[in-house]
Structure 1
Amino acid sequence: MSGQATMRLQRELRDCRQSLGNQIFVRWDDRDITRCRALITGPPGTPYAHGFFEFSLKFPPTYPSSPPKVEILTTNGGRTRFNPNLYAQGKVCLSILGTWGGKESEQWSSAHGITSVLISIQSLMSENPYENEPGYGKDEKRPRDESAPELMKAYNLKIAHETIRVSVCGRIEHILGLSKYSILSGATAVSGNSDDGGLAKVFDDQVKRLFLWYVSEYRACVERGRRSVQDGERFRRMPFEMASNIMMGSFAWSNLQTRLNKLSQILLEEPKGWIRESKDWLVRDITSASNLREQYLQVRGGQEGLEGLDVELDEGNPFVWNVTIFGSPMSHYDGGMFKGKMVFHAEFPDILPRFLFYTPIYNPHVTTDGVPYYMVEKEDSVRDHLQALVSLFSSDPMPDPSTHVNKAAAVLYFGNKEERKQYMRNTRRCAARSMEEEY
């Protein structure tokens, strides 16, 4: 790859975080930036909702004149085809990648880049992925006969089931060591190279955080599935599926609910293990300990931008911060006092801190378990993490549905006039209770 092309790729990777929003994440091999990984979360309102779909990207020496080689790794070990265009063997069929025919305007050009590729892939995860099948709308014997709506519903049901079973539960269980079986592909069909460039676990922490945000959505999906199809019923085979490129199996909603509950409990309890381990980290005086001590002193010394917040180290431990946030004056939370704990890992900032509110909070961006939804640009800045928490009480909720981790609260806030009034009453009640009870 030429020097100019390398500089362009570096710029694209640097700009990815801002241009891709909060549903697509990109990491790369520091030794070779032409080798990347992307994690795409399924869009809300689709059968892929909040699933974890990982892709490998390899940029050729001729980039950007030629497109990157892209492969889906979330294939249940090569057993599951998640989409008409996402094969069990890893192939991603897209005109922009040159892996599928299409109009001339849909072909690759040097004006395209990482962002356009990943957004195009995410667009495949639509509300009705059956329509992605190349013959849909062209072969009148297949796509638009009387059975088409029934096939579409059956396809969505099994995708929703496998999204939770494979991409969510299977992924988390492997990360936690509960299963030796990895749902990701090994040697790739596209690149033919199993060298991951040290990227095999690059999304482990991100996936855990996403799970804690969206577990209520997974549970809701399971409940909807239970009402639609019984456990034990076999998946329906689609006309475009073939023996080695298919999504086969049977529904097991009850088992999925059990697995989700177990994983949720483990991940909510995980920071307690960090606190126990922190005693050893302090004895060894690792770098992150001194870094966190210094950041704590900086936060205590300059509260600008952190008004209404109080922090204290738990028994002087820099890995455990006790946080109290006071409701902003004239806001819905005025008069409230909300307590929580921020726990850091020895590998901070590669592993981000976990925060849990002990005080119940009614907010679209805080789960019923007390896990806040937020993202920061400077992940190594504790101040930025704290500012994001404070903003939950001073800023209006964001309209993006992917940020709504308390669906009931979001429905009221973004509902009609009467529903908005009910939301306001709930938040004021939440603030009042925070002062009446001890947490």
Structure 2
Amino acid sequence: MSSQTILRISREITQIQQGSDLSIAVACQEKDVRHVKALIIGPHGSPYEYGFFEFTVNFGSEYPSKPPKVEAKTTNGGRTRFNPNIYAGGKVCLSILGTWHGERPGEEWSSAQGLESILWSIQSLMSNNPYENEPGYENAKGTEDKKMNDLYCAKIRHETLRIAVIQKLEEALAIQPDGSVAPPSASPQWSSEDDEDADGSNQVTETQPKLKFEPFKDLYKRRFLWYFEHYMSTIEQHSSKNKDGSDFTKMPFEGGGNTMDGKFKYADLGKRLVRIKEVIREETNNWATEGLAMKNRESSKAASIHRQFEQLGDYLKRKKLHNMDVELENGNPFIWILTYFGKPSTHLDGGIFKVKVSISPRFPEEQPRCRVETPLFHHRVSKDGVLCYFPKESDMLRNHVECIAEALEEESPPYDPRTIVHPEATKLLWGSEADKKKYYRQVRRSAQRTTEDAMES
């Protein structure tokens, strides 16, 4: 493969990684950009909503004259066909990939297209009408066809939760079928290559096994916390329509192993979702213990995190973030406690909010997890305090703190369904004028309560 082709692929990967589209992600190992792992998050409002769908993209020597080879990996081990165009065996049928012959001009591949357009094209298949993606059913508009599409969406919705969410998280967290968590030796985590003791000795040994390239594990966990309320709401809404133990309806075009067979088991899915959330919380708590141990043995990683904390004060002054105060919890450099003071003349005026920032010993590979510990009705804060924010420089903790403040102060954001972490607050904020007024009243009431609580204590 020519250096020019390698440069183009690298540029396309970087463009996606630095872009603002929260529904797609790509990653590759530095030694070979020709083999890319891609993630598509199911579109809001579709039966694929907030599912994590993985694909591999392999670029050949003739790229960009010819398209890369794309294979679906979220298939339940080759047993589940998520779409008429996304086969259980991994084949993705798209005209731009040369795996399907489009009938209209412009549908075929051209060198002007690239990785991002491929992912968008695949994402477009994940619609409310997947039944119509099957050849011969493109114009299926009759009553019976609508019924079949609804039945198809019903099982896609269930399997998106089971396979594209729950299975992904259980694998990432090493949760066993009985709900227990496999010990670290059975499920090795990342090893920090720069985690050296004071004497310079590295904790990673050459005898340790080479870890599988799994670039999206941390993303799964963070987004799961964002979307947890939605997942539970989906179960509540659809479990009554699909009785546990009832069979999926087989579509006319399914057969020969290329199917989506199974039974509805929403009650079990709900229990597994709750268990995943518990394990993520346990994992986050363990970061504090692990980080303190690193501090006590004077590891370079602990020293680096502590140095970033010490430099934070000057940074906040330069950024004029005078309404932020940060301290360590019990002297642990991996737990930062932020106190945010609501700015005058804003809806948070007078409020005093505590935000706990848990930092992984494997930062920045694993990103911080933030929880607003003071009750706050806010579109960026879930009911149990998970904060949705977007660091511009993910490897700099100071930028995380800055962006946490920006998220709390955000009052008129553009609507983005991929950032919905508090459905009730979101519905009010982007509702009618009366709804918006109700939203801001509840935000102000949250701030007032913090003052009242402070006076009582």
Structure 1 residues 20 and 355, CA, compared in 2 at 3 Å: closer, same or farther? closer
Q: Distance in 2 between matches of 1:409 and 1:269?
A: 27
CA distance in 1, matches of 2:177, 2:441: 48
8 Å contact from structure 1 (residues 24, 38) kept in 2: yes
Is the alpha carbon distance of 1:180 and 1:64 closer, same or farther for their aligned partners in structure 2, counting shifts above 3 Å? Answer: farther
- Structure 1: tracts of 5 or more residues without a match: 182-196
Q: Deviations over 1:93-116 (max 9, x none)?
A: 111111111133111111011110
Q: 1:362 aligns with which of 345, 370, 377?
A: 377
The CA distance in 2 between the partners of 1:22 and 1:333, in whole Å, is 27
From 409, 418, 424, give the equivalent of 1:394.
Answer: 409
Structure 1: distance between partners of 2:125 and 2:302 = 44
Separation (CA, whole Å) in 2 of partners of 1:135 and 1:361: 51
Provide the residue aligned with 1:208 in structure 2: 221
Map 1:179-258; keep pairs closer than 5 Å: 179=176, 200-258=213-271
Of stretches 253-262 and 282-291 in structure 1, the one that deviates more from structure 2 is: 282-291
The CA distance in 1 between the partners of 2:18 and 2:122, in whole Å, is 18
Paired residues of 2:380 and 2:408 also in contact (CA < 8 A): no
Question: Does the CA contact (< 8 Å) of 1:233 and 1:250 recur in 2?
Answer: yes
Contiguous gaps of at least 5 residues in structure 2: 179-209
Contact 2:35 2:56 in 1 (8 A): yes
Change beyond 3 A, Cα 1:180–1:62: farther
Correspondence for 2:98? 98
1:236 and 1:376 mapped to 2: Cα distance? 44
Determine the structure 2 residue equivalent to 1:35. 35
Shift of 1:311: 0.4
Whole-Å separation in 1 of the counterparts to 2:298 and 2:47? 47
Select the residue among 445, 454, 457 that pairs with 1:429. Answer: 445
Using the TM superposition, give the Cα deviation of residue 277 of structure 1 relative to its aligned residue in structure 2, in angstroms.
1.3
Aligned partner of 1:78 in structure 2 is: 78
CA gap 1:76/1:48 in 2 versus in 1, 3 angstroms: same
Question: Is structure 2 residue 424 aligned with structure 1 residue 408?
Answer: yes
The two structures have a TM-score, normalised by structure 2, of 0.89
CA distance in 2, matches of 1:145, 1:328: 56
Shift in alpha-carbon separation, 1:368–1:398, aligned structure 2, 3 A: farther
CA distance in 2, matches of 1:284, 1:347: 16
1:29/1:199 contact within 8 Å kept: no
Q: Where does residue 172 of structure 1 map in the other structure?
A: 169
Cα distance in 2 for residues equivalent to 1:355 and 1:198: 27
Task: Supply the AA of the counterpart residue of 1:365.
Answer: R
Q: Check conservation: 1:327, 1:431, Cα contact below 8 A.
A: yes
1:221-280: CA deviations, max 9, x gaps?
A: 111111212111100001111131100000011111111111112212321111111222
SS in 1 for 2:135: coil
Rounded to whole Å, the distance in 1 between the matches of 2:215 and 2:106 is 35
Q: CA RMSD in A?
A: 1.8
- Distance apart, 1:329 and its partner CA: 1.7
Specify the alignment match of 1:112 in structure 2.
113
Distance in 1 (alpha carbons) for counterparts of 2:441 and 2:211: 50
The residue that corresponds to 1:25 in the other structure is 25
1:331·1:393 contact (CA, 8 Å) conserved in 2? no
In 1, Cα distance between equivalents of 2:45 and 2:136: 24
Q: Could you tell me which residue of structure 2 aligns to residue 69 of structure 1?
A: 69
% identical equivalent positions: 42
Paired with 1:78 and 1:333, the residues of 2 have a C-alpha distance of 51
Among candidates 128, 146, 149, match of residue 146 of structure 2 = 149
Q: Please, what TM-score do these two structures have when normalized by structure 1?
A: 0.92
CA contact (8 A) 2:173 2:280 kept: no
Partner of 1:286: 299
Q: Secondary structure at the match of 1:369?
A: coil
Deviation of 1:318 after TM superposition, in Å, equals: 1.2
Letter in 2 for 1:64: P
The amino acid that maps onto 1:9 is I
Alignment length, in residue pairs? 420
8 Å CA contact 1:286–1:346 kept in 2: the answer is no
1:200, 1:340 → 2: CA distance? 32
- Tell me which residue corresponds to 2:13: 13
Q: Residue 243 and residue 224 in structure 1: after superposition, are their counterparts in 2 closer, same or farther (change >3 A)?
A: farther
